[in-house]
Amino acid sequence: MAWPVDFYEDASGDAPVEQFPDDLTEKQRAKLLGLIQMLKDYGPTLPFPYASQVKGRLRELRTQLGKTRCVFCTSRMPIKNFSYCMEWSDPQKLEESDIKTGEMRMADHARKLRESSKKKGK
């Protein structure tokens, strides 16, 4: 089963993580896109060293090329499973501010999903 990957969109409709690979070298971009494909294939249980736990439902993708990291969130819905990338962080460690940004974006994404399902239910 393929797991859908949704990229976080801010209030203006920009998806910062989706745009991020444009700034990488070809080799880095290929590695990152390969990891995102692995996330689609294996879901939120993608093991270390490809992904690791951050906090709660926050996990991170970890490349072996330049130690680029991508924070993502996982959730189970009654009908669909999803995970999405949220923010790139310092290559050495995740700062508390990165974790807080991830948590805020996770909450914002969940709110948008609730609003969307309410509209569909009308």
User: pLDDT (tens digit, 9 = 90+) per residue, 49-94?
Assistant: 888 888 888 888 887 666 667 777 776 654 444 555 655 556 567 7
117 lies in some domain: yes
* Count of domains observed in the chain: 1
2 lies in some domain: no
Q: How many CB atoms lie within 10 A of CB 41?
A: 11
Q: Are 21 and 33 in contact (CB under 8 A)?
A: yes
9 lies in some domain: no
CATH code of the domain covering residue 99: 3.30.2310
Average pLDDT over residues 109-119: 83
Identify the pLDDT of residue 62.
81
Q: Are 17 and 87 in contact (CB under 8 A)?
A: yes
71 lies in some domain: yes
pTM of the model: 0.75
Average pLDDT over residues 15-38: 83
Domain, as residue range, for 104: 16-121
Identify the pLDDT of residue 78.
40
Angstrom CA distances, 45 to 26, 32, 69, 83, 111, stand at 27, 17, 17, 11, 24
User: Cα–Cα distance between 14 and 107 in angstroms, integer?
Assistant: 17
